[in-house]
């Protein structure tokens, strides 16, 4: 009888294991789902961007039960990624958000809160105080340095300010430049600080951050002009992304609190603190109208006119 007993025991064990395996069915199915791809615009550097947003990506994976993978991309290459539908969500500045919405139907769902203006930001035109440059009139014939050409608060906002004050950067400046490489906004501020350029265009948030870190003394600068506050970095959803997932991600972002943590490479990290942000607000399409207005006036994408 012993062999028979062993067979019965083996059958029972197999049945039990099969039942337990069937209980894990939904998780196994979820694990075979296609990863969710979120594209991040590289800000100062790839290393900095990964350190900031890998925890947020891991947090979205944890909360949704889906595998989120980050794709880090340079500003000028991001549109190709969207056009080729190689991402499901986008994280970019507000100019790219407007381009993606107009050209590809990407829906803004959340905007970052950071700095003195919350989910909005401004652009500054600055000069060294000792230069005596205080007005647009004083800027005539001077040299200027801008941030990246697709930077809403390092280029567009300041270019628009000059045009609306009857100052044509193409005619009234002696020369202007855009720095190469990483940390362009810091390079602008340092370029003015050390006298390489007479005037600079920098985001208020970078100016404030450098002041907090002791890298600059704000009293050494004159703020010639400051732009209207406009939406900051934006998370958008591609038109083909599952609407239920989009709604879930938006809710997770809006509910994200300062004490929320996630485990990344064995380290427990605070998601918002690591991303340098204070939270998210729901994106409102009308908030981007000032961006659209300035892009049109400055003849910038997606409204650029090729004049003969």
Backbone conformation region of residue 212, classed left if phi is above 0, alpha if psi is from -120 to 50, else beta: alpha
- Residue 115 per-residue DSSP state: S
Evaluate whether 145 touches 176 at the Cβ level (below 8 Å). Answer: yes
Which helix (H) or strand (E) segment holds residue 64: the answer is helix 46-64
Please, what is the end-to-end C-alpha distance for the chain in angstroms? 98
| Domain containing residue 200 | 123-227
pLDDT for position 33:
85
Number of independent structural domains in the chain: 2
Evaluate whether 127 touches 223 at the Cβ level (below 8 Å). Answer: no
- Compute the residue count for the chain: 308
Greatest Cα-to-Cα distance within the chain, rounded to the nearest angstrom:
106
Contacts of 60 (CB under 8 A, 6+ apart): 36, 38, 66, 68, 249, 252
Q: Tens digits of per-residue pLDDT, 157-196? A: 999 999 999 999 999 999 999 999 999 999 999 999 999 9
- CA separation for the pair 55, 115 (Å, rounded): 20
Same domain, 109 and 252: yes
- CA separation for the pair 138, 169 (Å, rounded): 13
From 191, 206, 227, the end of a domain falls on: 227
Same domain, 145 and 88: no
Instruction: For residue 168, count other CB atoms closer than 10 A to its CB.
Output: 10
Average pLDDT of the chain to the nearest whole number: 91
Same domain, 142 and 217: yes
Same domain, 220 and 238: no
Angle between helices 46-64 and 243-255 (to 10 degrees): 110
Which helix (H) or strand (E) segment holds residue 7: the answer is helix 2-23
pLDDT for position 221:
98
Residue ranges in the chain whose pLDDT is less than 50: 1-30, 308
């Amino acid at each position: 009888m012993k062999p028979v007993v062993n067979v019965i025991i083996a059958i029972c064990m197999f049945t039990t294991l099969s039942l337990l395996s069937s209980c894990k069915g939904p998780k196994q199915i979820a694990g075979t789902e296609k990863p969710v791809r979120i594209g991040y615009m590289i800000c100062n550097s790839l290393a900095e961007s990964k350190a900031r947003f890998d925890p947020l990506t891991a947090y979205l994976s944890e909360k949704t039960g889906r595998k989120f993978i980050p794709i880090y991309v340079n500003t000028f290459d991001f549109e190709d990624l969207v056009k080729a539908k190689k991402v499901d969500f986008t994280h970019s500045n507000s100019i790219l958000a407007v381009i993606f919405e107009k050209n590809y139907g990407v829906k803004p769902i959340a905007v970052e809160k950071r700095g003195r203006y919350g989910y909005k930001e401004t652009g500054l035109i600055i000069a060294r105080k000792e230069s005596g440059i205080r007005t647009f009139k004083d800027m005539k014939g001077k040299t200027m340095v801008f941030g990246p050409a697709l930077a809403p608060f390092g280029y567009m906002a300041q270019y628009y300010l000059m045009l609306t004050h009857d100052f044509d950067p193409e005619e009234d400046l002696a020369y202007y430049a855009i720095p190469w490489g990483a940390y362009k906004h810091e390079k602008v501020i340092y370029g003015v600080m050390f006298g390489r350029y007479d005037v600079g265009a920098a985001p208020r948030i970078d100016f404030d951050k450098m002041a907090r870190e002791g890298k600059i003394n704000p009293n050494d600068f004159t703020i010639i002009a400051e732009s209207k506050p406009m939406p900051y970095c934006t998370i958008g959803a591609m038109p083909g992304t599952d609407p239920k997932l989009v709604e879930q991600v938006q809710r997770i972002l809006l509910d994200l609190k300062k004490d929320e943590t996630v485990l990344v490479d064995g380290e427990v990290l605070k998601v918002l603190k690591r991303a340098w942000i204070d939270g998210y607000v729901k994106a409102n399409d009308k908030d981007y109208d000032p961006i659209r207005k300035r892009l049109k006036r400055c003849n910038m994408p997606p409204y650029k006119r090729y004049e003969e």
